[in-house]
Structure 1
Amino acid sequence: MSRIVLPYLASFATSLLGNSVTAIALPLLVLFTTGSPLGAGIVAIAAAVPAALAGILMGSLVDRINRRTAAVLSDVISAAALLILPIVDLTVGLSLGWFVAVAILGSFGDVPGITAREAMLPAIAGSSGTDPARLIGMREALSGVMLLIGPAVAGVLVASFAPVTVLWITAGLAGLAALLTLGIPAHATAHERADEVPGAETRPARPGALLFGLRHLAQSPVLRSLMLLAVVLAVVLAATQGIVIPVHFAFQGQPGLVGFVLSSLAAGLLIGGGAFAMLGTRVRRRTWFTAGLVLLALGFIGISLLGPVWTVFAAAALAGLGGGCLNAVVGLAFVEHVAETDRGRVLGAQNAIVTLTPALGIGGAAAIIEAGSTQLAAVVLAGLWVVAALVALAAPSLRRISENEN
């Protein structure tokens, strides 16, 4: 593996691992400090809304400077935000206000960092001579690995140390991600910029330009369709992982099985992304797309049955396999259908939307469970994805996903 691709994937994995551990340790710290589950919810909302705004606003910065620099700055912001909490705990003591403030600050590092790493992938692929489809497949497989081991690492750390101590470690992971990113040669992440292209939008200070990414997503038939599909998947997946599965196993008196189900899902993502990395250019893009939609549908239907434990495990793995295939195709479609000069703003807008949607899914599923049952919520979610998959298979705009055109 080249000296360009290796530090890129290593920094991506380290950043994702840090985020995965933080996602578990931070809510526990809020709960232990405030004694209120509502406090954890307030902090989650406080992080989600500014993160979405940061994704839209900072996308312009990602397009205006070297994307390696943007990724490093984002990691530094994330590390600094995480360090504030243990320092405050050692000095004046933590309160809900500190958690909210840090959540807002950290949001300006998370989504822009993800956007910068996604946006630099075509340049990394070109500089290293790697096929973009293979690199995206490797990245998706690596995501599966991190999602697989992240909760386990978090569990070990939280069991060994207090949650506030774990934040020292996650801050260190963010700092390590920044150092690994600096290991990528600057020329490998250089990209054509808007001021170098006649007619390109170069003044992001204008209100209209700040919304360029959202406008581009709305005006491109392919990207608009893929974005809507991604939103539905985010809603269904977040609700399934975040409330349906935990509530089901809690009612069964087996809450410890939740982590194993999520690991099955991550294992499926790993296999799906790995398969795309090895075979992505040998199999028609439409085949990968269709397989992803169908496997996800079968997985969600299997989960909705809430049958014996092994069937839930198998269905979660099937859904993960489909997600790995579909995410790789969608990622490659965004590479092909977004100009190099605009990729930061468009991906920033996409990530901003996807950041907000999980709360919608979890909230909606919680309301259905409260009014009906866990089974009903699972069936509704599965039905929602089946409808979305059928629409996506029939959509004329998505029949052109294998073509490099807008």
Structure 2
Amino acid sequence: MIGPSTDSAIESPYAGTAAARAPALWRNRPFLFVFASFCLSLLGNTFHGMALNLWVIQTTGSAKHMSALLVTHLAVGTLLGSFAGTVADRMNRRQLMIAADIVRVLLVAGVVVSISVPGTPFIVLIVLTALIAFASLFHSPSLQASLGGIVGQGRIHQAVGAMNIADNLVRISGFALGGVFVAAFGGAMAIAVDGLTFLLSACFVFAAGKFPASVMPATATANDSVAPPRMPTFTEDFAGGFKYLWRDPFALPVLALLPVVTLFFLSMLMLVQVSAVGDWHASPFHFGLIEACIPLGYVAGSSLILFLGGRLRGRGKWILGSVSAMGPAYWLISRSDSALGAIPYILLSGCLLSFVTLILNVGLRARIEPSMQGRAFGTLASLTSVAPPIGLAAASFLSDAYGPSPVIAAGGIAIAVLSVAGWTLLKEIRSYD
């Protein structure tokens, strides 16, 4: 079992429950069904975004229209992630996941009709995109917050590892399949297939059966000898979630570290792609290798963590050590004079990212009350959706001014400096075991 990061023992929020005695991961029927739902829902999101954006650019030739769809999706996720997380903590999470999938099926059908009818105003697609993004927000925090109860605390690292590996594989296949389907069958048919993934996702969640119940929300007041517990209002829960996350000694550093690491990682990845084309003159084969290195490195690191399981000790040191190692890895990429020479360091950076994100995600589930996890993962989703575009915008501006290689080197130095601050200031993460 993953221990607390303080000297005093903190009992797992799932200890003594039926979930703590859950069967082995791949014999756990509810987990297998929600795992399938997770993969299909993620495939639907990725496939939908790729297919719709490609259809828009092919049909209108307007980068402005495609950007409008991207900004709409980003804005909804950033502004409403915490709201969706609060709803996930107040409602039956299984029912919420099913409802989110069914609503997306209907909305995707609306998109299919819209792009099939000539003359449909583009604002209709904007509105439908916003609604699909909004419905999607309820699926992920509901699943993430339910995972510990479904698999048991002793197997949470295996479940998170499996889902992180699947996440990368599904995203890769989703982007590829989106392009292939649009090219082969047209935008309407491709997006209709996307709707089918959401429908199957809902069926799998339904087949999983009831999820283990969470504890009473922390903001509720209970005194059975006087009166039944008073359930807090939505506003109280929403505000209470922020207060809890702000005061929790582990959650706050995680919510600060993960978005920053994601910002640097995606910014450096974009600059590597620019270097591959402009500086290294990479062939299509080598460019494809670069694109594959990040998910391959991530899957390799996740697989190692999954294999080690409870034998991995000093997790906080692994996290901060990985952040520290990212700096030299990016600096070595900036010094490379060919795509082939940079590939080992790109592969390493993907592996290092897995040690940061996967272990911290396991830690959030181990340290945060189940009744607060929807809000925790909803807030994290909001922060990690707004940070990368800021980094990408800054990296693009600096790359145009100075070239990609110096900016990659500067990014490596910056994240190395930040890692020193992390070792000094993030005590709860450093001592996490």
TM-score, normalised relative to structure 1: 0.89
Cα separation, 2, equivalents of 1:99 and 1:238: 28
Point out the structure with max Rg over C-alpha.
2
Structure 1 residue runs without a partner (length 5+)? none
Match for residue 178 of structure 1 among 188, 193, 202: 202
**Aligned counterparts of 1:231 and 1:82: Cα–Cα separation in 2:** 30
The separation in 1 between residues aligned to 2:221 and 2:432, in whole angstroms, is 27
2:50 to 24, 30, 40: 24
Residue 268 of structure 1: aligned partner: 297
Q: Is structure 2 residue 425 aligned with structure 1 residue 397?
A: no
What is the distance in 2 between the residues matched to 1:249 and 1:196? 52
- Taking a change above 3 Å as real, the CA distance of residues 338 and 312 of structure 1, as seen in their structure-2 partners, is same
Counterpart of 1:216 (choices 239, 244, 247) is 244
Does 94-103 or 41-50 show the bigger shift?
Answer: 94-103
3-state SS of 2:250 partner: helix
Q: What's the counterpart of residue 408 of structure 2?
A: 378
1:359 to 389, 393, 397: 389
**Given the superposition, is the C-alpha separation of residues 193 and 381 from structure 1 closer, same or farther in structure 2, using an over 3 Å criterion?**
same
Structure 1 residues 24, 245: closer, same or farther in 2, change over 3 A?
farther
8 Å CA contact 1:298, 1:318 repeated in 2: no
Shift in Å, 1:38: 2.2
Partner of 1:111: 137
Judge conservation of contact 1:232–1:385 (CA < 8 Å) in 2: no
Report Cα offsets for 1:216-259 as digits up to 9, x if no partner. Answer: 33322322211121111221222233x32333334355584544
Aligned to 1:194, what secondary structure does the other structure show? coil
Alignment correspondent of 1:144 = 168
Matches within 5 A, 1:5-404: 5-126=31-152, 131-186=155-210, 188-194=211-217, 198=221, 202-206=231-235, 209-241=237-269, 243-251=270-278, 254=282, 256=284, 257-284=286-313, 285-394=315-424, 395-402=426-433
Give the Å deviation of 1:62: 0.5
Contact 1:238 1:362 in 2 (8 A): yes
Distance across 2 between alignment mates of 1:147 and 1:272? 17
Corresponding position of 2:7 = none
Rounded to whole Å, the distance in 2 between the matches of 1:346 and 1:14 is 23
- Please give the alpha-carbon distance, in whole angstroms, between the structure 1 residues aligned to 2:322 and 2:182: 35
Higher mean C-alpha displacement, 147-156 vs 117-126: 147-156
Q: 1:304 to 1:340 in 2, by over 3 A?
A: same
- Which residue identity does 2:204 align to in structure 1? L
Cα distance in 2, alignment partners of residues 391 and 47 from structure 1:
33
Distance 1:247 1:163 in 2: 29
- Aligned identity (percent) is 18
- d(CA) in 2 for partners of 1:260 and 1:343? 37
Kindly state the Cα deviation for residue 288 of structure 1 after the two structures are TM-superposed: 3.3
Aligned-partner residue type, residue 58 of structure 1:
A
Report the alpha carbon displacement of residue 147 of structure 1 after superposing the two structures with TM: 3.3
Cα distance in 2 between the residues matched to 1:163 and 1:312: 36
Provide the rounded CA distance (Å) in 2 between the counterparts of 1:396 and 1:205: 33
Deviations 1:113-150 (A, max 9, x none): 11111111111112xx8511222122222223223433
TM-score, normalised via structure 2 length: 0.83
CA separation of 1:120 and 1:33: change in aligned 2, threshold 3 A? same
Deviation at 1:101, TM superposition (A): 0.9
Contact conserved, 2:302 with 2:354, CA < 8 A, in 1?
yes
What is the CA–CA distance in structure 1 between the aligned matches of 2:127 and 2:35, rounded to whole Å?
Answer: 31
TM-fit CA distance, 1:265: 0.7
Mean Cα deviation higher: 334-343 or 369-378: 369-378
Q: How many aligned residue pairs are there?
A: 397
Change (3 A) 1:106 1:178: same
For 1:292 and 1:204, locate their aligned partners in 2 and report how far apart those are by CA, in whole Å.
41
Q: Quick check: 2:331–2:409 contact (8 Å CA) kept in 1?
A: yes
Give 1:93 deviation, angstroms.
3.7
